[in-house]
């Protein structure tokens, strides 16, 4: 479970900032049809930091209903407050999700012992599986392999999303965790190599735009056809880079809007629409990949 391509799904919004549930349903169906192996709903790409709890829970609940069991749904439940993360975990546990993705607390810069206490408390709050999420580029705090190993002893902590982009970190973690502990890349640019070195999949931003390619890349890696995995990755490497020319999820939302998958590219403040130069750059790339008409 939790292997392959999981899309870090954006949360579509209308011009007035309300959640666009019609476009959300369109996106969920798109991923089911394109072969995406699972959805992460209201993770950091889904703007979890700026959705109030009631909206956060409702978007997850609706995503589960829209997926109708066709593919698993993981809910983002992280927070920099342990009490808030536990509250979200408890509330989201009854929505029909398959598990949680919980990010290292941001801004606080907790010690490694603090991270252990934080995630163990979250994992105690539900019987559903928890995937840890280490993204030091966003959170500043970096969860070390030894900390991941200690947390992997909890029966509900089943995996790690590693967004360090450092393959050496994967290799340092592998011998410290159980064989069935799931190691997922959280960095699209290095995800193919991550899987070729023994990772089990990716929670992908690029999959918002090119779900079939990411799914096929993962399937190739999991079947140990590493040449095919790298070849597919080579065809989409420009997406990996250009989707991050402005902070995520600015460019994925703009791309999906231009592809006609969403009514607008609106985000919650303090995020705003991309610069004109960025808009033009991603639109040219979408034309190159025949994702919009030229």
Copy the structure tokens of residue 138.
């966003």
Query: Which residue out of 6, 61, 106, 133 is catalytically annotated?
Result: 133
Residue 15 has pLDDT above 90, yes or no: yes
Given a contact cutoff of 8 angstroms between Cβ atoms, the answer to whether 161 and 134 are in contact is yes
57 appears as a binding residue in the annotation: no
**179 Cβ contact list (under 8 Å, min separation 6):** none
pLDDT digits (tens, 9 = 90+) for 57-114: 999 999 999 999 999 999 999 999 999 999 999 999 999 999 999 999 999 999 999 9
Average pLDDT over residues 20-27: 98
**pLDDT-derived band of residue 1, with 50, 70 and 90 as boundaries?**
confident
139 appears as a binding residue in the annotation: no
**Biggest CA-to-CA distance, the chain:** 53
pLDDT digits (tens, 9 = 90+) for 232-268: 999 999 999 999 999 999 999 999 999 999 999 999 9
Its pTM stands at 0.97
**pLDDT-derived band of residue 10, with 50, 70 and 90 as boundaries?**
very high
Copy the structure tokens of residue 178.
């159980």
At 279 the pLDDT is 98
Residue 294 has pLDDT above 80, yes or no: no
257 catalytic, yes or no?
no
**DSSP codes joined into one string, the chain:** ---EEEEE----B-TTS-B-HHHHHHHHHHHHHHT--EEEESSTTTTGGGS-HHHHHHHHHHHHHHHTTSS-EEEE---SSHHHHHHHHHHHTTTT-SEEEEEPPSSS---HHHHHHHHHHHHHT-SS-EEEEE-HHHHS----HHHHHHHTTSTTEEEEEE-S--HHHHHHHGGGS-TT-EEEE--GGGHHHHHHTT--EEEESGGGT-HHHHHHHHHHHHTT-HHHHHHHHHHTHHHHHHTTSSSTTHHHHHHHHHTTSSS-----TT--PPPHHHHHHHHHHHHHTTSS--
Given a contact cutoff of 8 angstroms between Cβ atoms, the answer to whether 207 and 7 are in contact is yes
Average pLDDT over residues 128-136: 98
Given a contact cutoff of 8 angstroms between Cβ atoms, the answer to whether 51 and 15 are in contact is no
* Distance separating alpha carbons of residues 56 and 74, to the nearest angstrom: 13
Query: Which residue out of 6, 61, 106, 161 is catalytically annotated?
Result: 161
Domains, the chain, ranges and CATH?
4-234 (3.20.20.70)
133 catalytic, yes or no?
yes
* Distance separating alpha carbons of residues 174 and 185, to the nearest angstrom: 13
Residue 167 has pLDDT above 80, yes or no: yes
* Distance separating alpha carbons of residues 18 and 93, to the nearest angstrom: 24
Burial (CB count within 10 angstroms: exposed 0-12, middle 13-18, buried 19+), residue 78: buried
């Amino acid at each position: 479970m939790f292997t392959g391509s999981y899309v870090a799904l954006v949360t579509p919004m209308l011009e007035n900032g309300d959640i666009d549930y019609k476009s959300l349903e369109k996106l969920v169906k798109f991923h089911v049809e394109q072969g995406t192996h699972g959805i992460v709903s209201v993770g950091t790409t889904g703007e979890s930091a700026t959705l109030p709890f009631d909206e956060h829970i409702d978007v997850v609940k609706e995503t589960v209903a829209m997926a109708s069991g066709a593919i698993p749904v993981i809910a983002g439940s992280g927070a920099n407050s342990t009490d808030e993360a536990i509250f979200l975990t408890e509330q989201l546990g009854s929505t029909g999700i398959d598990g949680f993705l919980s990010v290292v607390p941001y801004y606080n810069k907790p010690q490694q012992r603090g991270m252990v206490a934080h995630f163990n408390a979250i994992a105690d709050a539900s019987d559903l599986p928890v995937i840890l999420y280490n993204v030091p580029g966003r959170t500043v705090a970096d969860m070390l392999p030894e900390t991941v190993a200690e947390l992997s002893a909890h029966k509900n902590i089943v995996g790690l999303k590693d967004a360090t982009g450092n393959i050496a970190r994967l290799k340092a973690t592998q011998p410290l965790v159980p064989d069935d502990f799931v190691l997922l890349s959280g960095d699209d640019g290095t995800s193919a190599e991550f899987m070729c070195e023994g990772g089990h999949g990716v929670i992908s931003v690029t999959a918002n735009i090119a779900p079939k390619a990411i799914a096929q890349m993962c399937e190739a890696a999991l079947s140990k056809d590493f040449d095919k995995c790298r070849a597919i990755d080579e065809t989409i490497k420009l997406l990996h880079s250009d989707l991050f020319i402005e902070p995520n999820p600015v460019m994925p939302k703009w791309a999906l809007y231009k592809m006609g998958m969403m009514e607008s590219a609106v985000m919650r403040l303090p995020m705003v629409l991309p610069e004109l130069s960025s808009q033009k750059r991603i639109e040219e790339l979408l034309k190159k990949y025949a994702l919009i008409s030229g």
